[in-house]
C-alpha cells in the first residue's frame, strides 16, 4: 500500500504512526515543510521518501508533491494527517486524486461546520445546545432573550477553543458585535457541564476497534482565555452511558476507518430541554486524534499501542490489541512566567517512574496546553487531583521588608 502522511513531524510523537505502518509492510511517504535534515532520525527511518514543500498552505505545492509520489510509485491508497488543521486540505487532496479511503470534500462538508453537526446529533438522538448563526445585534439579543445569559460565541468553522468567548451581559454582546469578524460565528446557549470525551479508532463500518474517555475538569475555553494551568486525564474505562451515546454518534458521523474525538457535556445541574443532572449533551466531534500528546496518554493508561491499533485498522480493518484499562494517566502543565513552588527535579523525584513523559509543548499548542508538561500514571482517582495540585502549586511571595 502507498500511504501518504501529511506533516509527519508534528506533533513530535506522530513519527510513531509512520513507524508502525512501515513495519506492516506499507510504503510510507511524508509531505511537510520542515527540511529533511531536521526531521528526527526515527521519522526519517520510517519514511520511504519525503517531499518538502515551502508552504503547506499552498495547495498547488501539495498537489505537486502528491503528483510526484503518484508518478514515481503509482496510485496513492491512503492519505492522512490525523490533524484537525489539515482536515479540509486532506479531503480536497483525496477528492482530486481519487483516493478511496478517508473523508472526501462532500463528507467533510456535512459536519465541518458546528451548526451542521446539530442535524447529525439529532439523528443520533443526542441533545445539544440551541444555537443562532450570528448576523445582526437585534437577532442576537432576541436569541439571548429566549435562552438567557451567558451565551457562547465561536467560529462556526473553527479549531478547538480558538476565538471562543463567553458573553455574560448586554455590554459584552454589544462589544462583540462592534468588532469586525472575518468568519461566520455561531452563538450557543451556555451549558453548565463538565467536558468528557469519547475517543477511539473506528473500522470501516464505524464500529470502535478501540475506545477510551478523557475528563476535563476545567473548560478549555477558560484555559485559553484566562491562561490558566491545565490538567486532564485518561479514564480507566469508558462510562457505560457515555459509551452508549458515543457509539450512536460515531455511527451517524463519517467516522469510518479513522480516529475520532467526540466531546460531550455531563450536566452539572438539570437544564430544561436537555436533561437532568448527570445526563450527556453533545458538544462537538473531531475526525482526528485528541490534541497534543493525548495518544501517548492513551498508551500509558491502557498499557497498549494506539499507533499499532491504527496501523492494524489500515491493514486489516481489525486489531487483536486489548488495552488493560487498569490505570489513569493525568496530564498537568505549567505556563512560562509563573512562579511554581516545585521545580522539575522535585516533581521527577517525588513521582519517579510514575512520570511517563515530560517536556515542552510545541509553541503552537501552548495557548491551550501550557508550556511545560508532565504525564503521570496512577491507580487511584484521588491521586489525580493531588498530582495536579502539586505541579500547579505556586511559590509563596515573600513580603518585602518594611522601611520606615
pLDDT of residue 400: 52
Query: 230 and 315 in one domain?
Result: yes
pLDDT of residue 402: 44
pLDDT of residue 111: 83
pLDDT of residue 215: 98
Question: For residue 195, what is the enclosing H or E element?
Answer: strand 193-202
Tell me the residue range of the domain where 167 lies: 130-189
Distance CA 252, CA 116 (A): 13
Query: 309 and 264 in one domain?
Result: yes
Q: Is the pLDDT of residue 110 over 50?
A: yes
Grid cell for residue 206: 464505524
Specify if 164 maps to a domain: yes
Q: Which of 189, 223, 258 is the last residue of a domain?
A: 189
Strand partners, 225: none
Distance CA 95, CA 103 (A): 8
Query: 380 and 344 in one domain?
Result: yes
Q: Is the pLDDT of residue 25 over 70?
A: yes
Query: 271 and 249 in one domain?
Result: yes
77 class by beta-carbon count within 10 Å (0-12 exposed, 13-18 middle, 19+ buried): middle
Q: Which of 170, 189, 208 is the last residue of a domain?
A: 189
| Closest by Cα among 10, 52, 50, 59 to 28 | 50
- Categorize the per-residue pLDDT at 109 as very low, low, confident or very high, splitting at 50, 70 and 90: confident
Mean pLDDT along residues 304-319: 98
- Identify the CATH number of the domain in which residue 56 sits: 3.40.50.20
Q: Is the pLDDT of residue 369 over 60?
A: yes
Place of cell 521527577: 348
Query: 42 and 97 in one domain?
Result: yes
Query: 348 and 247 in one domain?
Result: yes
| Closest by Cα among 223, 153, 160 to 183 | 153
Q: Is the pLDDT of residue 387 over 60?
A: yes
Percent of the chain residues past pLDDT 70, beyond the cut: 97
Place of cell 474525538: 261
Q: Is the pLDDT of residue 300 over 80?
A: yes
Specify if 304 maps to a domain: yes
Mean pLDDT along residues 151-161: 80
| Closest by Cα among 228, 202, 230, 192 to 214 | 230
Specify if 397 maps to a domain: no
Specify if 173 maps to a domain: yes
Specify if 134 maps to a domain: yes
Mean pLDDT along residues 339-350: 98
Query: Sign of torsion, CA 207 212 216 221?
Result: negative
Amino acid at each position: 500500500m502507498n500511504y501518504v502522511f501529511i506533516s509527519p513531524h508534528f506533533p513530535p510523537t506522530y513519527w510513531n504512526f509512520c513507524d508502525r505502518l512501515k513495519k506492516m509492510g506499507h510504503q510510507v511517504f511524508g509531505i511537510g515543510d520542515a527540511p529533511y535534515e531536521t526531521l528526527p532520525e526515527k521519522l526519517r527511518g520510517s519514511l520511504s521518501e519525503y517531499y518538502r514543500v515551502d508552504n503547506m498552505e499552498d495547495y498547488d505545492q501539495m498537489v505537486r508533491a502528491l503528483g510526484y509520489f503518484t508518478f514515481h510509485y503509482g496510485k496513492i491508497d491512503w492519505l492522512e494527517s490525523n490533524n484537525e488543521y489539515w482536515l479540509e486540505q486532506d479531503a480536497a487532496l483525496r477528492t482530486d486524486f481519487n483516493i478511496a479511503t478517508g473523508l472526501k470534500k462532500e463528507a467533510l462538508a456535512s459536519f465541518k461546520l458546528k451548526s451542521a453537526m446539530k442535524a447529525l446529533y439529532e439523528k443520533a438522538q443526542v441533545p445539544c445546545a440551541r444555537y443562532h448563526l450570528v448576523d445582526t445585534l437585534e437577532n442576537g439579543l432576541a436569541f439571548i432573550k429566549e435562552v438567557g445569559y451567558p451565551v457562547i460565541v465561536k467560529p462556526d468553522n473553527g479549531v478547538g477553543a480558538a476565538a471562543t468567548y463567553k458573553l455574560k451581559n448586554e455590554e459584552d454582546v454589544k462589544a462583540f458585535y462592534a468588532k469586525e469578524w472575518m468568519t461566520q460565528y455561531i452563538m450557543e446557549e451556555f451549558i453548565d457541564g463538565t467536558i468528557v470525551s469519547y475517543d477511539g479508532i473506528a473500522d470501516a463500518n464505524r464500529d470502535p476497534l478501540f475506545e477510551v474517555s478523557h475528563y476535563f475538569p476545567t473548560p478549555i475555553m477558560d484555559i485559553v482565555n484566562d491562561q490558566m494551568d491545565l490538567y486532564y486525564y485518561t479514564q480507566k474505562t469508558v462510562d457505560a452511558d457515555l459509551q452508549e451515546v458515543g457509539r450512536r454518534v460515531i455511527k451517524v458521523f463519517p467516522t469510518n476507518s479513522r480516529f475520532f474525538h467526540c466531546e460531550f457535556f455531563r450536566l452539572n445541574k438539570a437544564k430544561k430541554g436537555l436533561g437532568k443532572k448527570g445526563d450527556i449533551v453533545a458538544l462537538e466531534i473531531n475526525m482526528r486524534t485528541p490534541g497534543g500528546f493525548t495518544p501517548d496518554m492513551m498508551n500509558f493508561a491502557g498499557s497498549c499501542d494506539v499507533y499499532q491499533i491504527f496501523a492494524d485498522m489500515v491493514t486489516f480493518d481489525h486489531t487483536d490489541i486489548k488495552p488493560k484499562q487498569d490505570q489513569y494517566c493525568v496530564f498537568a502543565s505549567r505556563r512560562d512566567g509563573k512562579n511554581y513552588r516545585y521545580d522539575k527535579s522535585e516533581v521527577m523525584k517525588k513521582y519517579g517512574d510514575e512520570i511517563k513523559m515530560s517536556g515542552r509543548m510545541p509553541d503552537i499548542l501552548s495557548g491551550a496546553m501550557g508550556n511545560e508538561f508532565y504525564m503521570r500514571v496512577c491507580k487511584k482517582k484521588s491521586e489525580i487531583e493531588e498530582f495536579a495540585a502539586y505541579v500547579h502549586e505556586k511559590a509563596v511571595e515573600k513580603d518585602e521588608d518594611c522601611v520606615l
